[in-house]
Chains A and B, each alone.
Chain A
Amino acid sequence: MNALAKLTILETKMFFRDKMQVFWTFLFPVLMIWLFGSMFKDGKIGGLTFAEAYVPSWIGVNIVTTAFFTLGTVLASYRETGVLRRYQSTPLKPWKILFAHTVQGTVIFAISAVILAIFGSLLFHLGMPKYLGSTLLALVISIVSFFPLALFLTSLGKNTQTSAAISSLCLNLMMFLSGATFPLQMMPDFLQYVAKALPLYYVIELLRATWNTAPIWERGTDVIVLLGIAVISIVLSSRFFRWSDKS
Protein backbone atom coordinates (compact mmCIF):
# COMPACT_ATOMS: atom_id res chain seq x y z
CA MET A 1 0.00 0.00 0.00
CA ASN A 2 1.32 3.45 -0.78
CA ALA A 3 2.01 6.31 1.59
CA LEU A 4 -1.09 8.28 0.65
CA ALA A 5 -3.51 5.44 1.38
CA LYS A 6 -1.69 4.49 4.58
CA LEU A 7 -1.72 8.04 5.89
CA THR A 8 -5.43 8.45 5.09
CA ILE A 9 -6.44 5.22 6.79
CA LEU A 10 -4.27 5.90 9.80
CA GLU A 11 -5.58 9.43 10.29
CA THR A 12 -9.17 8.15 10.07
CA LYS A 13 -8.40 5.40 12.60
CA MET A 14 -6.83 7.90 14.96
CA PHE A 15 -9.90 10.11 14.79
CA PHE A 16 -12.04 7.28 16.14
CA ARG A 17 -9.55 6.66 18.97
CA ASP A 18 -10.32 10.09 20.37
CA LYS A 19 -13.63 9.46 22.09
CA MET A 20 -14.29 13.09 22.96
CA GLN A 21 -13.87 14.14 19.37
CA VAL A 22 -16.13 11.38 18.16
CA PHE A 23 -18.82 12.48 20.61
CA TRP A 24 -18.70 16.14 19.63
CA THR A 25 -18.56 15.42 15.93
CA PHE A 26 -21.37 12.89 15.74
CA LEU A 27 -23.67 13.50 18.67
CA PHE A 28 -23.57 17.25 19.14
CA PRO A 29 -25.42 18.01 15.86
CA VAL A 30 -28.03 15.38 16.72
CA LEU A 31 -28.55 17.01 20.10
CA MET A 32 -28.90 20.40 18.48
CA ILE A 33 -31.48 19.13 16.00
CA TRP A 34 -33.40 17.52 18.82
CA LEU A 35 -33.21 20.75 20.86
CA PHE A 36 -34.32 23.02 18.03
CA GLY A 37 -36.91 20.44 17.07
CA SER A 38 -38.56 20.75 20.44
CA MET A 39 -38.67 24.53 19.97
CA PHE A 40 -39.72 24.89 16.34
CA LYS A 41 -41.30 21.52 15.63
CA ASP A 42 -44.61 22.75 14.31
CA GLY A 43 -43.48 26.04 12.77
CA LYS A 44 -42.87 26.57 9.06
CA ILE A 45 -39.58 28.10 8.02
CA GLY A 46 -39.74 29.72 4.61
CA GLY A 47 -42.40 27.26 3.55
CA LEU A 48 -40.45 24.22 4.79
CA THR A 49 -41.12 21.98 7.75
CA PHE A 50 -38.69 22.04 10.64
CA ALA A 51 -36.78 18.95 9.54
CA GLU A 52 -36.72 19.98 5.87
CA ALA A 53 -35.05 23.24 6.84
CA TYR A 54 -32.87 22.23 9.77
CA VAL A 55 -31.45 18.83 8.88
CA PRO A 56 -29.83 20.05 5.63
CA SER A 57 -28.67 23.18 7.49
CA TRP A 58 -26.98 21.18 10.20
CA ILE A 59 -25.40 18.91 7.64
CA GLY A 60 -23.98 22.16 6.27
CA VAL A 61 -22.81 23.24 9.73
CA ASN A 62 -21.11 19.86 10.04
CA ILE A 63 -19.01 20.64 6.99
CA VAL A 64 -17.81 23.71 8.86
CA THR A 65 -17.05 21.86 12.12
CA THR A 66 -15.24 19.10 10.24
CA ALA A 67 -13.28 21.64 8.21
CA PHE A 68 -12.21 23.77 11.14
CA PHE A 69 -11.86 21.24 13.94
CA THR A 70 -11.20 17.80 12.44
CA LEU A 71 -8.90 19.27 9.79
CA GLY A 72 -7.71 22.77 10.57
CA THR A 73 -7.08 22.65 14.29
CA VAL A 74 -5.60 19.16 14.12
CA LEU A 75 -3.14 20.22 11.44
CA ALA A 76 -2.28 23.29 13.52
CA SER A 77 -1.47 21.03 16.45
CA TYR A 78 0.61 18.83 14.14
CA ARG A 79 2.46 21.96 13.14
CA GLU A 80 3.06 22.94 16.74
CA THR A 81 4.12 19.53 18.04
CA GLY A 82 6.47 18.93 15.12
CA VAL A 83 4.52 16.12 13.45
CA LEU A 84 4.62 17.97 10.12
CA ARG A 85 8.27 18.87 10.60
CA ARG A 86 9.10 15.20 10.93
CA TYR A 87 7.35 14.55 7.61
CA GLN A 88 9.30 17.41 6.09
CA SER A 89 12.58 15.50 6.23
CA THR A 90 11.10 12.45 4.52
CA PRO A 91 10.29 12.19 0.80
CA LEU A 92 6.57 12.64 1.60
CA LYS A 93 5.10 15.52 -0.43
CA PRO A 94 2.94 18.18 1.29
CA TRP A 95 -0.02 17.71 -1.05
CA LYS A 96 -0.29 14.10 0.10
CA ILE A 97 -0.66 15.25 3.69
CA LEU A 98 -3.38 17.74 2.77
CA PHE A 99 -5.09 15.21 0.54
CA ALA A 100 -5.05 12.50 3.22
CA HIS A 101 -6.63 14.87 5.71
CA THR A 102 -9.21 16.00 3.18
CA VAL A 103 -10.27 12.40 2.48
CA GLN A 104 -10.34 11.63 6.20
CA GLY A 105 -12.49 14.72 6.81
CA THR A 106 -14.85 13.73 4.01
CA VAL A 107 -15.33 10.24 5.44
CA ILE A 108 -16.04 11.61 8.91
CA PHE A 109 -18.38 14.23 7.53
CA ALA A 110 -20.25 11.64 5.44
CA ILE A 111 -20.86 9.51 8.51
CA SER A 112 -22.18 12.49 10.47
CA ALA A 113 -24.44 13.51 7.56
CA VAL A 114 -25.95 10.02 7.34
CA ILE A 115 -26.53 9.98 11.12
CA LEU A 116 -28.33 13.33 10.90
CA ALA A 117 -30.47 12.24 7.97
CA ILE A 118 -31.49 9.01 9.73
CA PHE A 119 -32.22 10.89 12.94
CA GLY A 120 -34.32 13.40 11.00
CA SER A 121 -36.33 10.71 9.29
CA LEU A 122 -36.94 8.72 12.50
CA LEU A 123 -37.90 11.63 14.70
CA PHE A 124 -39.31 14.20 12.30
CA HIS A 125 -40.37 12.09 9.30
CA LEU A 126 -37.87 13.76 6.98
CA GLY A 127 -37.82 12.27 3.51
CA MET A 128 -34.79 11.54 1.29
CA PRO A 129 -33.44 14.52 -0.67
CA LYS A 130 -35.75 15.31 -3.57
CA TYR A 131 -32.80 15.83 -5.92
CA LEU A 132 -30.32 13.33 -4.50
CA GLY A 133 -27.70 13.82 -7.23
CA SER A 134 -27.91 17.57 -6.79
CA THR A 135 -27.60 17.28 -3.02
CA LEU A 136 -24.52 15.07 -3.30
CA LEU A 137 -22.95 17.43 -5.81
CA ALA A 138 -23.78 20.37 -3.54
CA LEU A 139 -22.04 18.58 -0.66
CA VAL A 140 -18.93 17.97 -2.77
CA ILE A 141 -18.79 21.64 -3.82
CA SER A 142 -19.27 22.74 -0.21
CA ILE A 143 -16.46 20.46 0.97
CA VAL A 144 -14.12 21.61 -1.75
CA SER A 145 -14.66 25.22 -0.74
CA PHE A 146 -14.68 24.82 3.04
CA PHE A 147 -11.86 22.37 3.70
CA PRO A 148 -9.11 24.44 2.10
CA LEU A 149 -10.64 27.64 3.50
CA ALA A 150 -10.42 26.22 7.02
CA LEU A 151 -6.91 24.89 6.41
CA PHE A 152 -5.80 28.32 5.29
CA LEU A 153 -7.51 30.28 8.08
CA THR A 154 -6.30 27.98 10.86
CA SER A 155 -2.75 28.06 9.47
CA LEU A 156 -2.74 31.79 10.24
CA GLY A 157 -2.72 30.94 13.95
CA LYS A 158 0.66 31.00 15.67
CA ASN A 159 -0.15 27.88 17.68
CA THR A 160 -2.90 25.38 18.39
CA GLN A 161 -4.71 27.71 20.78
CA THR A 162 -4.97 30.60 18.34
CA SER A 163 -6.01 28.19 15.60
CA ALA A 164 -8.73 26.81 17.87
CA ALA A 165 -9.83 30.36 18.62
CA ILE A 166 -10.00 31.18 14.91
CA SER A 167 -12.03 28.00 14.40
CA SER A 168 -14.46 28.80 17.20
CA LEU A 169 -14.93 32.34 15.96
CA CYS A 170 -15.64 31.24 12.39
CA LEU A 171 -17.94 28.43 13.48
CA ASN A 172 -20.00 30.53 15.91
CA LEU A 173 -20.26 33.47 13.59
CA MET A 174 -21.48 31.33 10.72
CA MET A 175 -23.61 28.99 12.80
CA PHE A 176 -25.70 31.82 14.22
CA LEU A 177 -25.71 34.25 11.31
CA SER A 178 -26.16 31.98 8.30
CA GLY A 179 -29.68 30.87 9.05
CA ALA A 180 -28.61 27.45 10.31
CA THR A 181 -29.88 27.99 13.82
CA PHE A 182 -32.13 31.05 13.72
CA PRO A 183 -34.18 31.70 10.61
CA LEU A 184 -32.84 34.73 8.73
CA GLN A 185 -36.37 36.07 8.40
CA MET A 186 -36.30 36.68 12.15
CA MET A 187 -33.27 38.94 11.82
CA PRO A 188 -32.99 42.68 11.08
CA ASP A 189 -32.03 43.72 7.53
CA PHE A 190 -28.50 44.55 8.59
CA LEU A 191 -27.79 41.01 9.82
CA GLN A 192 -29.34 39.54 6.70
CA TYR A 193 -26.69 41.38 4.69
CA VAL A 194 -23.97 40.10 7.02
CA ALA A 195 -25.27 36.56 6.46
CA LYS A 196 -24.77 36.93 2.72
CA ALA A 197 -21.12 37.76 3.31
CA LEU A 198 -20.56 34.45 5.10
CA PRO A 199 -19.75 31.38 3.00
CA LEU A 200 -21.93 29.07 5.06
CA TYR A 201 -25.02 31.02 3.95
CA TYR A 202 -24.56 29.71 0.40
CA VAL A 203 -23.98 26.14 1.58
CA ILE A 204 -27.19 26.20 3.58
CA GLU A 205 -29.21 27.80 0.78
CA LEU A 206 -27.89 25.22 -1.67
CA LEU A 207 -28.47 22.24 0.60
CA ARG A 208 -31.98 23.29 1.62
CA ALA A 209 -32.91 23.91 -1.99
CA THR A 210 -31.55 20.67 -3.44
CA TRP A 211 -33.00 18.66 -0.58
CA ASN A 212 -36.51 20.13 -0.95
CA THR A 213 -37.28 22.33 -3.92
CA ALA A 214 -34.87 22.71 -6.82
CA PRO A 215 -32.04 20.89 -8.63
CA ILE A 216 -28.55 22.34 -8.45
CA TRP A 217 -28.55 24.02 -11.90
CA GLU A 218 -31.27 26.36 -10.71
CA ARG A 219 -28.99 27.60 -7.93
CA GLY A 220 -26.26 29.14 -10.10
CA THR A 221 -25.33 31.96 -7.72
CA ASP A 222 -24.70 29.67 -4.75
CA VAL A 223 -22.59 27.31 -6.87
CA ILE A 224 -20.53 30.13 -8.38
CA VAL A 225 -19.86 31.76 -5.01
CA LEU A 226 -18.79 28.45 -3.47
CA LEU A 227 -16.59 27.50 -6.42
CA GLY A 228 -14.98 30.95 -6.23
CA ILE A 229 -14.20 30.42 -2.55
CA ALA A 230 -12.86 26.98 -3.42
CA VAL A 231 -10.41 28.27 -6.03
CA ILE A 232 -9.15 31.13 -3.86
CA SER A 233 -8.75 29.04 -0.73
CA ILE A 234 -7.03 26.14 -2.54
CA VAL A 235 -4.50 28.62 -3.93
CA LEU A 236 -4.02 30.33 -0.57
CA SER A 237 -3.79 27.15 1.48
CA SER A 238 -1.20 25.53 -0.77
CA ARG A 239 0.73 28.78 -1.29
CA PHE A 240 0.98 29.44 2.45
CA PHE A 241 1.37 25.85 3.64
CA ARG A 242 3.78 25.81 6.56
CA TRP A 243 5.60 22.79 7.98
CA SER A 244 6.34 24.31 11.35
CA ASP A 245 5.56 27.35 13.44
CA LYS A 246 9.15 28.53 13.09
CA SER A 247 9.80 30.84 10.11
Chain B
Amino acid sequence: MSTVITVQQLSKRYGTVQAVNDISFNVERGEIFGIIGPNGAGKTTTIEILEGLRKRDGGLVEVLGLDPQKNRTALNEKIGVQYQATSIQKKMKVKEAVDLFSSFYSRKENSKDIIEILGLEEKMNHFFGDLSGGWKQRVTLALATLHQPEIVFLDEPSMGLDPHARRELWSIIQLLRDRGCTIVVTTHYMEEAEKLCDRVAMIYNGEIKALNEPRLLLDEMAVNYLSFYSNEIDELQLAALPGVVKVENEEFFFKVFTETMQQTAYYLFKHCEEHAISLTDFKFEKGTLDDLFVHFLEKGKKDERIG
Protein backbone atom coordinates (compact mmCIF):
# COMPACT_ATOMS: atom_id res chain seq x y z
CA MET B 1 0.00 0.00 0.00
CA SER B 2 1.16 3.52 -0.67
CA THR B 3 0.30 6.74 1.07
CA VAL B 4 -1.92 9.10 -0.92
CA ILE B 5 -2.52 11.78 1.70
CA THR B 6 -0.02 13.04 4.26
CA VAL B 7 -1.06 15.53 6.90
CA GLN B 8 1.50 16.76 9.41
CA GLN B 9 0.83 19.15 12.25
CA LEU B 10 -1.97 20.85 10.38
CA SER B 11 -3.56 23.84 12.07
CA LYS B 12 -6.15 26.42 11.13
CA ARG B 13 -7.79 29.18 13.11
CA TYR B 14 -10.71 31.49 12.41
CA GLY B 15 -10.22 34.64 14.45
CA THR B 16 -9.79 33.42 17.99
CA VAL B 17 -11.23 29.97 17.33
CA GLN B 18 -8.69 27.21 16.78
CA ALA B 19 -10.68 25.08 14.32
CA VAL B 20 -7.92 22.55 13.68
CA ASN B 21 -5.10 22.13 16.13
CA ASP B 22 -1.91 20.31 15.21
CA ILE B 23 -3.35 17.18 13.63
CA SER B 24 -1.38 14.55 11.75
CA PHE B 25 -2.49 11.46 9.84
CA ASN B 26 -1.91 9.50 6.64
CA VAL B 27 -4.38 7.97 4.24
CA GLU B 28 -3.36 4.84 2.34
CA ARG B 29 -4.37 4.04 -1.23
CA GLY B 30 -7.55 2.02 -1.47
CA GLU B 31 -8.93 2.53 2.00
CA ILE B 32 -12.09 4.19 3.26
CA PHE B 33 -10.85 6.71 5.77
CA GLY B 34 -13.40 8.24 8.08
CA ILE B 35 -13.14 11.57 9.87
CA ILE B 36 -15.70 11.55 12.63
CA GLY B 37 -16.69 13.98 15.32
CA PRO B 38 -19.53 16.20 16.47
CA ASN B 39 -20.73 19.21 14.46
CA GLY B 40 -18.16 21.98 14.64
CA ALA B 41 -15.33 19.63 15.57
CA GLY B 42 -13.19 20.65 12.59
CA LYS B 43 -14.08 17.84 10.17
CA THR B 44 -15.22 20.03 7.29
CA THR B 45 -12.34 22.46 7.76
CA THR B 46 -9.89 19.57 7.59
CA ILE B 47 -11.41 18.02 4.47
CA GLU B 48 -11.65 21.42 2.75
CA ILE B 49 -7.96 22.05 3.39
CA LEU B 50 -7.21 18.67 1.77
CA GLU B 51 -9.35 19.65 -1.23
CA GLY B 52 -7.53 22.97 -1.56
CA LEU B 53 -10.62 25.04 -0.84
CA ARG B 54 -9.21 26.55 2.34
CA LYS B 55 -5.78 27.83 3.23
CA ARG B 56 -4.05 26.30 6.22
CA ASP B 57 -2.24 28.35 8.84
CA GLY B 58 0.44 25.81 9.58
CA GLY B 59 1.64 22.29 8.92
CA LEU B 60 2.25 20.19 5.86
CA VAL B 61 -0.35 18.70 3.54
CA GLU B 62 0.34 16.51 0.54
CA VAL B 63 -2.39 14.98 -1.57
CA LEU B 64 -1.24 12.66 -4.38
CA GLY B 65 2.16 14.30 -4.12
CA LEU B 66 0.72 17.79 -4.59
CA ASP B 67 0.23 20.69 -2.22
CA PRO B 68 -3.52 21.39 -2.50
CA GLN B 69 -3.02 25.06 -1.70
CA LYS B 70 -0.59 25.58 -4.58
CA ASN B 71 -1.69 23.04 -7.19
CA ARG B 72 -5.44 22.99 -6.93
CA THR B 73 -6.07 22.90 -10.67
CA ALA B 74 -3.79 19.92 -11.19
CA LEU B 75 -5.26 18.21 -8.14
CA ASN B 76 -8.84 18.77 -9.31
CA GLU B 77 -8.18 16.49 -12.29
CA LYS B 78 -7.42 13.62 -9.95
CA ILE B 79 -9.90 14.05 -7.12
CA GLY B 80 -13.65 14.05 -6.81
CA VAL B 81 -15.57 16.01 -4.21
CA GLN B 82 -19.04 15.47 -2.81
CA TYR B 83 -20.07 18.42 -0.69
CA GLN B 84 -22.39 18.69 2.21
CA ALA B 85 -25.78 19.92 1.00
CA THR B 86 -24.92 21.47 -2.33
CA SER B 87 -26.94 21.00 -5.44
CA ILE B 88 -26.77 21.53 -9.15
CA GLN B 89 -29.19 23.59 -11.20
CA LYS B 90 -32.79 22.44 -10.65
CA LYS B 91 -33.67 22.74 -14.32
CA MET B 92 -30.72 20.65 -15.46
CA LYS B 93 -31.40 17.12 -16.63
CA VAL B 94 -29.29 14.34 -15.18
CA LYS B 95 -27.83 13.40 -18.55
CA GLU B 96 -26.95 17.04 -19.25
CA ALA B 97 -25.16 17.31 -15.92
CA VAL B 98 -23.18 14.14 -16.59
CA ASP B 99 -22.28 15.37 -20.06
CA LEU B 100 -21.28 18.82 -18.77
CA PHE B 101 -19.12 17.56 -15.94
CA SER B 102 -17.43 15.01 -18.22
CA SER B 103 -16.32 17.88 -20.43
CA PHE B 104 -14.43 19.52 -17.55
CA TYR B 105 -11.79 16.79 -17.40
CA SER B 106 -8.97 16.21 -19.84
CA ARG B 107 -8.91 12.50 -19.04
CA LYS B 108 -11.71 11.13 -21.19
CA GLU B 109 -13.20 8.20 -19.35
CA ASN B 110 -16.34 6.33 -20.02
CA SER B 111 -18.94 7.72 -17.67
CA LYS B 112 -21.37 4.90 -18.59
CA ASP B 113 -19.71 2.73 -16.00
CA ILE B 114 -20.45 4.93 -13.05
CA ILE B 115 -24.00 5.56 -14.26
CA GLU B 116 -24.58 1.83 -14.28
CA ILE B 117 -23.15 1.37 -10.80
CA LEU B 118 -25.34 4.14 -9.44
CA GLY B 119 -28.38 2.89 -11.33
CA LEU B 120 -28.95 6.28 -12.91
CA GLU B 121 -30.11 5.11 -16.37
CA GLU B 122 -33.79 5.42 -15.50
CA LYS B 123 -33.32 8.98 -14.23
CA MET B 124 -31.24 10.37 -17.08
CA ASN B 125 -34.10 12.45 -18.50
CA HIS B 126 -35.32 13.79 -15.16
CA PHE B 127 -34.68 17.30 -13.94
CA PHE B 128 -32.36 17.40 -10.94
CA GLY B 129 -34.91 19.48 -9.00
CA ASP B 130 -37.56 16.76 -9.34
CA LEU B 131 -35.45 14.01 -7.76
CA SER B 132 -35.73 12.79 -4.18
CA GLY B 133 -32.90 13.36 -1.71
CA GLY B 134 -31.44 9.90 -2.25
CA TRP B 135 -31.38 10.25 -6.03
CA LYS B 136 -29.91 13.75 -5.83
CA GLN B 137 -27.13 12.31 -3.71
CA ARG B 138 -26.50 9.63 -6.32
CA VAL B 139 -26.37 12.17 -9.13
CA THR B 140 -23.89 14.42 -7.34
CA LEU B 141 -21.87 11.33 -6.42
CA ALA B 142 -21.82 10.41 -10.11
CA LEU B 143 -20.58 13.91 -10.96
CA ALA B 144 -17.83 13.56 -8.35
CA THR B 145 -16.66 10.19 -9.66
CA LEU B 146 -17.28 10.06 -13.42
CA HIS B 147 -13.67 10.96 -14.21
CA GLN B 148 -12.47 8.01 -12.12
CA PRO B 149 -10.66 10.10 -9.53
CA GLU B 150 -7.91 8.57 -7.43
CA ILE B 151 -9.38 10.04 -4.25
CA VAL B 152 -13.01 10.86 -3.54
CA PHE B 153 -13.85 13.22 -0.68
CA LEU B 154 -17.31 12.86 0.77
CA ASP B 155 -18.48 15.42 3.30
CA GLU B 156 -21.42 14.10 5.35
CA PRO B 157 -22.70 12.06 2.39
CA SER B 158 -25.66 10.48 4.13
CA MET B 159 -27.01 13.57 5.82
CA GLY B 160 -30.76 13.70 5.38
CA LEU B 161 -31.01 10.26 3.75
CA ASP B 162 -33.44 7.64 5.01
CA PRO B 163 -31.91 4.43 6.43
CA HIS B 164 -32.48 2.49 3.23
CA ALA B 165 -30.89 5.13 0.99
CA ARG B 166 -28.03 5.35 3.46
CA ARG B 167 -27.31 1.63 3.25
CA GLU B 168 -27.41 1.77 -0.54
CA LEU B 169 -24.97 4.65 -0.45
CA TRP B 170 -22.60 2.64 1.71
CA SER B 171 -22.56 -0.26 -0.70
CA ILE B 172 -21.90 2.14 -3.58
CA ILE B 173 -19.01 3.70 -1.67
CA GLN B 174 -17.59 0.27 -0.94
CA LEU B 175 -17.92 -0.65 -4.59
CA LEU B 176 -15.94 2.47 -5.54
CA ARG B 177 -13.25 1.45 -3.06
CA ASP B 178 -13.15 -2.04 -4.56
CA ARG B 179 -12.50 -0.44 -7.95
CA GLY B 180 -9.34 1.11 -6.55
CA CYS B 181 -10.56 4.46 -5.37
CA THR B 182 -9.43 5.92 -2.05
CA ILE B 183 -12.29 7.42 -0.06
CA VAL B 184 -12.11 10.11 2.61
CA VAL B 185 -15.44 10.56 4.32
CA THR B 186 -16.60 12.78 7.17
CA THR B 187 -19.62 11.87 9.22
CA HIS B 188 -21.21 12.38 12.56
CA TYR B 189 -23.19 9.15 12.27
CA MET B 190 -21.16 6.71 14.28
CA GLU B 191 -22.97 3.76 12.78
CA GLU B 192 -21.80 4.90 9.38
CA ALA B 193 -18.20 5.08 10.53
CA GLU B 194 -18.40 1.62 12.08
CA LYS B 195 -19.98 -0.13 9.10
CA LEU B 196 -18.29 1.78 6.29
CA CYS B 197 -14.78 2.84 7.24
CA ASP B 198 -11.57 0.85 7.23
CA ARG B 199 -10.01 3.36 9.60
CA VAL B 200 -11.40 6.34 11.47
CA ALA B 201 -9.92 9.46 12.99
CA MET B 202 -12.05 10.85 15.77
CA ILE B 203 -11.83 14.63 15.91
CA TYR B 204 -13.03 16.72 18.78
CA ASN B 205 -12.20 20.38 19.42
CA GLY B 206 -9.93 20.40 16.39
CA GLU B 207 -7.73 17.59 17.70
CA ILE B 208 -7.51 13.89 16.84
CA LYS B 209 -8.58 11.97 19.93
CA ALA B 210 -8.31 8.49 18.47
CA LEU B 211 -7.25 6.91 15.19
CA ASN B 212 -7.59 3.25 14.28
CA GLU B 213 -9.79 0.62 12.74
CA PRO B 214 -13.28 1.05 14.21
CA ARG B 215 -13.22 -2.45 15.74
CA LEU B 216 -9.82 -1.92 17.35
CA LEU B 217 -10.83 1.48 18.64
CA LEU B 218 -13.72 -0.12 20.46
CA ASP B 219 -11.56 -2.91 21.82
CA GLU B 220 -9.01 -0.41 23.09
CA MET B 221 -11.52 1.65 24.98
CA ALA B 222 -13.49 0.46 27.95
CA VAL B 223 -16.87 0.98 26.44
CA ASN B 224 -18.26 -2.52 26.99
CA TYR B 225 -20.96 -2.83 29.59
CA LEU B 226 -23.58 -5.01 31.23
CA SER B 227 -27.14 -3.78 31.07
CA PHE B 228 -30.21 -4.90 33.05
CA TYR B 229 -33.33 -3.71 34.82
CA SER B 230 -33.68 -3.92 38.57
CA ASN B 231 -35.67 -1.88 41.04
CA GLU B 232 -34.02 -3.35 44.09
CA ILE B 233 -30.30 -3.05 43.57
CA ASP B 234 -28.15 -0.38 45.18
CA GLU B 235 -25.99 1.69 42.88
CA LEU B 236 -23.14 2.06 45.37
CA GLN B 237 -22.87 -1.69 45.82
CA LEU B 238 -22.74 -2.11 42.07
CA ALA B 239 -19.87 0.33 41.80
CA ALA B 240 -17.96 -1.72 44.38
CA LEU B 241 -18.05 -4.91 42.29
CA PRO B 242 -14.71 -6.07 40.85
CA GLY B 243 -13.72 -4.49 37.52
CA VAL B 244 -16.45 -1.87 37.44
CA VAL B 245 -15.39 1.45 35.93
CA LYS B 246 -18.63 3.39 35.98
CA VAL B 247 -22.31 2.82 36.69
CA GLU B 248 -25.13 4.61 34.92
CA ASN B 249 -28.69 4.44 36.18
CA GLU B 250 -31.75 5.67 34.37
CA GLU B 251 -35.12 4.79 35.93
CA PHE B 252 -33.96 1.35 37.12
CA PHE B 253 -32.16 0.64 33.86
CA PHE B 254 -28.52 0.08 34.74
CA LYS B 255 -25.42 0.22 32.59
CA VAL B 256 -22.36 -1.20 34.35
CA PHE B 257 -19.19 -0.32 32.45
CA THR B 258 -16.44 -2.82 33.10
CA GLU B 259 -13.10 -3.93 31.77
CA THR B 260 -13.76 -7.54 32.76
CA MET B 261 -17.23 -8.39 31.59
CA GLN B 262 -17.35 -12.01 32.65
CA GLN B 263 -15.87 -11.47 36.09
CA THR B 264 -18.11 -8.54 36.89
CA ALA B 265 -21.15 -10.47 35.67
CA TYR B 266 -20.21 -13.36 37.92
CA TYR B 267 -19.98 -11.13 41.00
CA LEU B 268 -23.12 -9.28 40.00
CA PHE B 269 -25.18 -12.48 39.87
CA LYS B 270 -23.55 -13.74 43.06
CA HIS B 271 -24.44 -10.51 44.84
CA CYS B 272 -28.01 -10.63 43.58
CA GLU B 273 -28.48 -14.29 44.51
CA GLU B 274 -27.13 -13.74 48.04
CA HIS B 275 -29.39 -10.76 48.62
CA ALA B 276 -32.41 -12.10 46.72
CA ILE B 277 -32.40 -9.20 44.27
CA SER B 278 -34.12 -9.77 40.95
CA LEU B 279 -32.58 -8.74 37.64
CA THR B 280 -34.40 -8.69 34.35
CA ASP B 281 -33.37 -8.28 30.75
CA PHE B 282 -29.67 -8.82 31.44
CA LYS B 283 -27.39 -8.26 28.44
CA PHE B 284 -23.73 -8.18 27.55
CA GLU B 285 -23.41 -5.01 25.51
CA LYS B 286 -20.58 -4.20 23.19
CA GLY B 287 -19.94 -0.48 23.03
CA THR B 288 -20.47 1.37 19.78
CA LEU B 289 -18.59 4.33 18.43
CA ASP B 290 -21.55 6.34 19.72
CA ASP B 291 -20.58 5.45 23.27
CA LEU B 292 -16.96 6.22 22.59
CA PHE B 293 -18.00 9.51 21.11
CA VAL B 294 -20.10 10.48 24.11
CA HIS B 295 -17.22 9.37 26.31
CA PHE B 296 -14.95 11.93 24.61
CA LEU B 297 -17.59 14.64 24.72
CA GLU B 298 -18.09 14.19 28.44
CA LYS B 299 -14.38 14.00 29.05
CA GLY B 300 -13.93 17.20 27.06
CA LYS B 301 -16.57 18.99 29.09
CA LYS B 302 -15.01 17.77 32.32
CA ASP B 303 -11.59 19.03 31.18
CA GLU B 304 -13.12 22.40 30.35
CA ARG B 305 -14.63 22.64 33.81
CA ILE B 306 -11.32 21.77 35.43
CA GLY B 307 -9.32 24.05 33.15
**Residues of A that sit less than 8 Å from B by CB:** 1-3, 6-7, 10, 13-14, 17-18, 78, 81-83, 85-93, 247
B100 and A3 contact, CB distance less than 8 A = yes
Instruction: Flag whether B237 is at the interface (Cβ < 8 A).
Output: no
A90 and B101 contact, CB distance less than 8 A = yes
B99 and A89 contact, CB distance less than 8 A = no
- The contact of B104 among A3, A10, A82, by CB within 8 Å, is A3
Q: State A10–B86 Cα separation when bound (angstroms).
A: 19
Q: State A78–B86 Cα separation when bound (angstroms).
A: 10
A residues near B140, Cβ cutoff 8 Å: 86
B residues near A3, Cβ cutoff 8 Å: 100, 103-104
Task: Provide the main secondary structure of the chain A interface.
Answer: helix
A residues near B51, Cβ cutoff 8 Å: 89
A92 and B83 contact, CB distance less than 8 A = no
A89 and B103 contact, CB distance less than 8 A = no
How many residues on the B side are at the interface (Cβ–Cβ under 8 A)? 29
A83 and B89 contact, CB distance less than 8 A = yes
Q: State A89–B155 Cα separation when bound (angstroms).
A: 13
A residues near B143, Cβ cutoff 8 Å: 86
B104 and A91 contact, CB distance less than 8 A = yes
Q: State A32–B80 Cα separation when bound (angstroms).
A: 48
**Residues of B that sit less than 8 Å from A by CB:** 51, 53-54, 73, 76-77, 79-81, 83, 85-89, 91-92, 96, 99-101, 103-106, 127, 140, 143-144
Q: State A88–B79 Cα separation when bound (angstroms).
A: 12
Q: How far is the CB of B259 from chain A (nearest CB, A)?
A: 44
Q: How far is the CB of B157 from chain A (nearest CB, A)?
A: 14
B residues near A91, Cβ cutoff 8 Å: 73, 76-77, 104-106
A83 and B103 contact, CB distance less than 8 A = no
13 chain-A/chain-B pairs, Cβ below 8 angstroms: A10-B96, A13-B96, A14-B91, A82-B86, A83-B86, A86-B83, A86-B88, A86-B143, A87-B104, A89-B51, A89-B53, A89-B80, A91-B104
Q: How far is the CB of B256 from chain A (nearest CB, A)?
A: 45
A89 and B104 contact, CB distance less than 8 A = no
Q: State A6–B102 Cα separation when bound (angstroms).
A: 10
Q: State A3–B102 Cα separation when bound (angstroms).
A: 9
In chain B, what residue has the closest Cβ to A18? B91
In chain B, what residue has the closest Cβ to A74? B89
Q: Would you list the 10 A-B pairs with minimal beta carbon distance, nearest first?
A: A82-B86, A89-B81, A3-B103, A90-B104, A14-B91, A17-B91, A91-B76, A92-B104, A6-B103, A81-B87
